[in-house]
Structures are given as C-alpha cells and as structure tokens.
Structure 1
Amino acid sequence: MKRQQAEFSGRAGEAKAALWLRAKGWQILDRRVKTSAGEIDLVARRGRIVAFVEVKWRKRKDELDHAIDERRLSRVAAACDAVAHRYAQDGEDIRIDVILLAPGTFPRHIANAWQP
C-alpha cells in the first residue's frame, strides 16, 4: 500500500512540476521517459535549452534538503545520455534540473543541478 501511495504522490508531484514549468514558459516534451539506465521524470524545452528534470515530492518541507543526492542525479544523467539525441536539436544546450515540491511551498527549481 505504501508503494502505491508513493507512486500516486510521485505522479501528482510530476503533474504539478509540469504545470509550474509551463507557467514559466517551458514546453513539456515528454514525461516518465524510461531507459535501461533509469527514468527521467520530465523533459522540457524553453528557447534553446532542453532540460531533463528530476522531480522530488516530500510530505514535509524540511525533507526537501535531503531529497536528491549525487547517486540519484548520476542515474538521471545516464538516462539523459541515452535519450538526449531524441529531444535536443543541433546547437541546443541540455541540462539536468531538479524540482523539489512539498505541501504549502512553492516549487524549488534547481537549474543545471548536475555538473559532472
């Protein structure tokens, strides 16, 4: 039951993050992209930037600071490497962003969160 609730919360968080990105001028290109290396929650474009976005939803604001770590970001980076050619055109910049969400807070968007 906990796993199902976590899945539901995760999907709801991804939907909220997508709405927030659209409000900030981003176009959502794809959701829940699965690769052999891992999953990318959202793929978005604004101008000449394509962002591969990891979304983290937590029940409490104070849990957000520990929601993402280098291991998780490295998996997103590996997944991004596998599919970036599908989304980015010649000359477009790609980056990995993180959006952190909790009840009663505005989304926290960390641009270019992964820099190997």
Structure 2
Amino acid sequence: MESALARRRVTFLRGHYAEWVALLFLLAKGYRPLARRYAAAGGEIDLIMMRGDIIVFVEVKARGLMDNALSAITATKRQRFSRAVRAWLARHPHAQGKTWRADAVFIAPKRWPQHIVSAFELEMF
C-alpha cells in the first residue's frame, strides 16, 4: 500500500516539475501565462498561455521516453481537455475574439522540451 502511495507522490511531483519546465520554456518563446492547472467540467488544462491574439491551451506530458509522451494524449484525454477549454472560454468572454489552439509540450529526461503547435483539434461543440 505504501509503495502505491509513494509511486503516486512521485508521479504527482514529476507532473508539477514538468509543468514548471514547460511554463519556463514557453515564457522563453514569448508566451504569457493566463492560468495554470485549470480544472472544470471533468477536465484539466495544464497551462493556458497567450502570445499576440492567440490563446494556447497546453497539455504537458512527462514520460521516461519521448515516444511514450507523444502517445499519451488519448481520445478520452482530448475530450476532457476540450470540455475544460469550453468551460474556461465561457468564463472569459474577452477570449471570444481570439484564435484558440491546443498545443502540447512533452518532457523527457535529458532532452529539451518538445513543443508541438496545434498538437490536436479542440472539440468545441
């Protein structure tokens, strides 16, 4: 039982670390943070960033191998993510005139973060 709890804690801390790495990486690329760890409607958005007139909803994935991170965004994850995006947009009417997209930042040990622009389509309806 303790090993499962310890494993969960390590996974939680790895996720927080990966989100900070992704945030710093995107800041260096000129993005401005709007929100972090936004949860609503049964989904979560790791980072919400803005650059110019584009609002970027970012999924951060940390895995031992980059290939595992790339395959970690499943159809179910995209649906939950899109529900959270719709909830965020409903609470932020100023965002209606902007362009939106879903990016991903993949983190793996001893590798530079990999930022995928428009990594997947948002399900808006």
TM, length-normalised to structure 2? 0.85
- Contact residue 50 and residue 87 of structure 1 kept, 8 A: no
Instruction: Please name the residue that 1:112 is paired with.
Output: 118
Give the deviation of 1:59 after TM superposition: 1.7
Counterpart for residue 75 of structure 1: 80
Of the two, which has the highest radius of gyration? 2
Unaligned runs of 5+ in 2: 1-5
CA deviation vs aligned residue, 1:23-77 (integer Å, no higher than 9, x gap) = 0000011100111221110000000000111100012233223222222122111
Q: Residues of 1 paired with 2:96 and 2:86: CA distance?
A: 15
Kindly tell me: are residues 88 and 21 of structure 1, through their superposed partners in 2, closer, same or farther at Cα, counting changes over 3 Å? farther
1:100 to 102, 106, 112: 106
Runs (4 or more) in structure 1 with deviation over 6 Å come to: none
Q: What TM-score results when the alignment is normalised by the length of structure 1?
A: 0.91
The SS at the match of 1:62 is helix
Number of residue-to-residue matches in the alignment: 116
Distance in 1 (alpha carbons) for counterparts of 2:36 and 2:93: 12
Q: Supply the AA of the counterpart residue of 2:69.
A: L
RMSD: 1.6
